[in-house]
């Protein structure tokens, strides 16, 4: 009996040990590497790297993309979640499948699609040329590619929680004579505010960090179409390792903020995140 | 009988939300994706086949699909292990580990790429150790697999974890009371319950690895026929202004993605039916 207990204990210990080793090897060390390399030449060098002219330009361009993408995706997210959870209609399953698209489609394919669409022989290439606006290898193309990658983030956070909450409150509001905007502003939005906020944080983090799709449509024009991740790539290819990791550390901090935020929201509303994870499982 | 496409609700805003949703989806997703297929259909079949199944493309698929499969397998195994340890055992700093699992989602892929390349490269901590023992990771398929494992790891854990949490202890207890051994309980009670989520995690992680670009290109070395992944080949074709070629390979990858999405829906359907019979 005692032998069996010892065996079970050591079995558990080994499992925990292997799991934690895997996590340390694959997750903790890489995170540490970024900051180790970024600060390897001292804080002064680090500060110099992240305040260089190119880096500042990249940060501004990334923010500009974010300012356009985030409101659009938020409006779409609220409308789409409302549409899916408040009504019964055919094709709901199809719509939900579309929302999964960016998770399975390669970002490179997403970028390529827009290059083809707006190329000279493309479907919209002629129109764009006539109107004399540059889309590909310019700001609008990068916005489009980013939207393609990030469009479902807000909606996917909202759908499970709105599904759970049902629609009695909204119906009651309607019965009492509330107008559409009153229902939205006074009933629905306060109920979903944390999920909405978290969806926006996720969307922003992904938007800032997107590399594959944006790199295809950006054309890598220095000082014009370089976002933060592309700046990391350029510095790395110039063998400026410390600079590349310095800029990368900025992206890391944004990622870490979204992780901490997730934990924080989980504490406030433990059911919420649990539910949204559950969607994949069942 | 008349088919009902939409059941009337007293809540307002049906038209508005429907309009915004489908307009946005059409402009951002459906229209662009359909142009890809239209572009491919403008060429002849021979042209398409020679673009999609050229030797270089075939090798790229081999690298992409083969290594995605390997990394999805490794992720399913370790994803299950990590989920099990986090749900079942008392470990120190559980909250920290739990938050850490999502790191690959939060870390931009380019950052992951340069980090892993440095770490496993000749001057990195792990790479220098491995190289001293005559083992090369960077610029080999092993490096690609490591990058793929990194980016798709959370999928495996996050799909299994909630199901493990939901698993009713009473079921296991009654199995134990009926005299089943621990191994038997795992085999007959736990494993069948988590199998659908295990498969979901596998498919998601496979799909993500297959399409991954940012983290892989740094560590892969990108030698044609050897360590060139399919998404990179699309970019190469674009840079050569071979738009037809890149569209063809994109269509191929896109179709595989659609098939994987179909698989995901099927697993969910199967799981729901299966759970319904309990």
Confidence bin at A274 (pLDDT 50/70/90): very low
Interface of B with A in 236-275 (CB under 8 A): 238, 243, 246-247, 250, 253-254, 257, 260-261, 264-265, 268, 271-272, 275
Q: Is the pLDDT of residue B277 over 60?
A: no
Q: Is B222 helix (H, G, I), strand (E, B) or coil?
A: coil
Cβ–Cβ below 8 Å for A119 and B243: yes
Structure tokens given for A204: 């922003």
The length of chain B, given as a count of residues: 278
Confidence bin at A279 (pLDDT 50/70/90): very low
- B216 part of contact set with chain A, CB < 8 Å: no
Q: What is the mean pLDDT of residues A151-160?
A: 90
Give the separation between CA B96 and CA B106, rounded to whole angstroms: 15
Q: Is the pLDDT of residue B59 over 60?
A: yes
Q: Which residues contact A147 (CB under 8 A, 6 or more apart)?
A: A69, A72, A73, B28
Model confidence, pTM: 0.90
Displacement of CA A249 from its chain's centroid (Å)? 17
> Which residue from B236, B35, B38, B250 is spatially nearest to A117, judged by alpha carbons?
B35
> Which residue from B74, B77, B99, B98 is spatially nearest to B194, judged by alpha carbons?
B77
pLDDT at residue B266 in the model: 87
**Residue pairs between chains A and B whose CB atoms are closer than 8 Å:** 305
Smallest CA–CA separation between B170 and chain A, in Å? 20
Smallest CA–CA separation between B133 and chain A, in Å? 18
Interface of B with A in 54-113 (CB under 8 A): 78, 81-82, 84-86, 89, 91, 95, 97, 99-104, 106-112
B159: nearest CA in chain A?
A281
B108, A209 in Cβ contact below 8 A?
yes
Give the separation between CA A133 and CA A41, rounded to whole angstroms: 44
Q: Is the pLDDT of residue B71 over 90?
A: yes
Q: Is the pLDDT of residue A271 over 60?
A: no
> Which residue from B177, B157, B173 is spatially nearest to B165, judged by alpha carbons?
B157
Give the separation between CA B221 and CA B138, rounded to whole angstroms: 7
Q: What is the mean pLDDT of residues A214-220?
A: 89
Cβ–Cβ below 8 Å for A121 and B160: no
**Complex ipTM, two decimals?**
0.87
**Considering chain A, what percentage of its residues have pLDDT values greater than 90?**
43
Q: Is the pLDDT of residue A278 over 80?
A: no
| Domain A34-108+140-281 in this protein, CATH class | mainly alpha
Q: Is the pLDDT of residue A26 over 60?
A: yes
| Domain B62-226 in this protein, CATH class | mainly alpha
Q: Is the pLDDT of residue B195 over 70?
A: yes
**Which pLDDT tens digit goes with each residue over B112-133?**
999 999 999 988 899 888 888 8
- In this structure, the number of other CB atoms found within 10 A of the CB of residue B18 comes to 17
Q: What is the mean pLDDT of residues A228-237?
A: 93
Confidence bin at A103 (pLDDT 50/70/90): confident
Q: What is the mean pLDDT of residues A245-261?
A: 91
Structural domain spans, chain A: 34-108+140-281
pLDDT at residue B75 in the model: 95
Cβ–Cβ below 8 Å for B82 and A33: no
Cβ–Cβ below 8 Å for A259 and B106: yes
- Identify the DSSP state of B3: P
How many Cα atoms are found within 13 Å in the side-chain-facing hemisphere of B210?
A: 27
**Which pLDDT tens digit goes with each residue over A1-19?**
688 888 888 888 999 999 9
pLDDT at residue A121 in the model: 75
Helix residue spans in chain B (DSSP H): 14-25, 31-41, 45-52, 55-88, 94-100, 103-106, 109-120, 125-132, 141-166, 169-177, 182-185, 191-211, 214-220, 230-239, 243-276
**Which pLDDT tens digit goes with each residue over B236-267?**
999 888 888 999 999 999 999 999 998 888 88
Substitution target from A107, A166, A212, A261 for chain B, most B beta carbons within 10 A: A212
**Which pLDDT tens digit goes with each residue over B89-112?**
888 888 889 888 988 988 899 999
Confidence bin at A270 (pLDDT 50/70/90): low
- A149 part of contact set with chain B, CB < 8 Å: no
Give the separation between CA A75 and CA A60, rounded to whole angstroms: 23
Q: Is the pLDDT of residue B276 over 60?
A: no
Using a CB-CB cut-off of 8 Å, the residues of chain B touching A122 are: 35, 39
Q: Is the pLDDT of residue A216 over 60?
A: yes
State the residue for tokens 């949703």: B21
Confidence bin at A280 (pLDDT 50/70/90): very low
């Amino acid at each position: 009996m005692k032998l069996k207990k010892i065996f079970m204990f050591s079995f558990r210990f080994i499992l925990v040990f292997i799991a934690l080793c895997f996590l340390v090897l694959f997750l903790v060390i890489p995170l540490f590497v970024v900051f180790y390399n970024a600060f390897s030449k001292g804080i002064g060098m680090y500060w110099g790297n992240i305040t260089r002219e190119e880096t500042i330009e990249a940060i501004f361009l990334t923010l500009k993309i974010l300012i356009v993408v985030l409101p659009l995706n938020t409006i779409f997210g609220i409308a789409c979640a409302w549409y899916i959870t408040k009504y019964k209609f055919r094709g709901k399953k199809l719509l939900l499948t579309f929302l999964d698209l960016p998770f399975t489609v390669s970002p490179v394919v997403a970028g390529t699609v827009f290059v083809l669409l707006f190329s000279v022989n493309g479907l919209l290439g002629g129109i764009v040329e006539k109107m004399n606006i540059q889309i590909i290898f310019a700001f609008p193309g990068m916005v489009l590619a980013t939207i393609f990658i990030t469009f479902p983030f807000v909606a996917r956070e909202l759908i499970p929680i709105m599904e759970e909450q049902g629609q009695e409150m909204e119906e009651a509001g309607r019965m009492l004579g509330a107008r559409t905007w009153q229902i939205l502003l006074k009933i629905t939005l306060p109920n979903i505010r944390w999920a909405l906020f978290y969806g926006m944080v996720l969307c922003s983090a992904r938007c800032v960090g997107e590399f594959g799709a944006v790199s295809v449509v950006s054309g890598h024009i220095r000082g014009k179409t370089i976002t933060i991740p592309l700046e990391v790539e350029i510095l790395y290819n110039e063998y400026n390792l410390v600079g590349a990791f310095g800029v990368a550390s900025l992206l890391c901090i944004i990622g870490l903020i979204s992780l901490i935020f997730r934990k924080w929201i989980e504490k406030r509303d433990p059911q919420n995140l649990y539910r949204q994870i559950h969607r994949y499982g069942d | 009988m008349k088919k009902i496409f939409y059941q009337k609700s007293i809540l307002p805003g049906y038209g508005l939300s429907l309009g915004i949703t489908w307009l946005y989806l059409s402009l951002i997703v459906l229209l662009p994706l359909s142009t890809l297929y239209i572009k491919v259909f403008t060429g002849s079949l021979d042209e398409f086949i020679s673009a999609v199944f050229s030797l270089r493309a075939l090798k790229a698929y081999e690298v992409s699909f083969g290594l995605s499969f390997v990394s999805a397998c490794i992720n399913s195994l370790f994803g299950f292990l990590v989920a099990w340890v986090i749900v079942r055992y008392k470990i120190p700093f559980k909250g920290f580990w739990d938050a850490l699992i999502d790191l690959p989602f939060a870390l931009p892929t380019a950052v992951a790429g340069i980090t892993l390349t440095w770490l496993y490269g000749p001057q990195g901590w792990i790479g220098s150790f491995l190289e001293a023992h005559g083992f090369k990771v960077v610029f080999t398929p092993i490096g690609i697999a490591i990058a793929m494992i990194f980016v798709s790891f959370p999928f495996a854990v996050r799909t299994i974890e909630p199901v493990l949490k939901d698993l009713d202890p009473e079921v296991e207890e009654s199995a134990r009371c009926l005299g089943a051994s621990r191994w038997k309980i795992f085999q007959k009670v736990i494993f069948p319950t988590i199998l659908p989520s295990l498969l979901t995690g596998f498919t998601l992680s496979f799909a993500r690895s297959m399409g991954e670009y940012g983290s892989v290109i740094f560590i892969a070395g990108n030698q044609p026929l050897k360590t060139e992944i399919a998404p990179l080949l699309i970019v190469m074709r674009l840079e050569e202004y071979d738009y037809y070629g890149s569209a063809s390979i994109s269509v191929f990858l896109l179709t595989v993605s659609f098939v994987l999405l179909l698989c995901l829906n099927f697993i969910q359907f199967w799981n729901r039916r299966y759970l319904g019979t309990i």
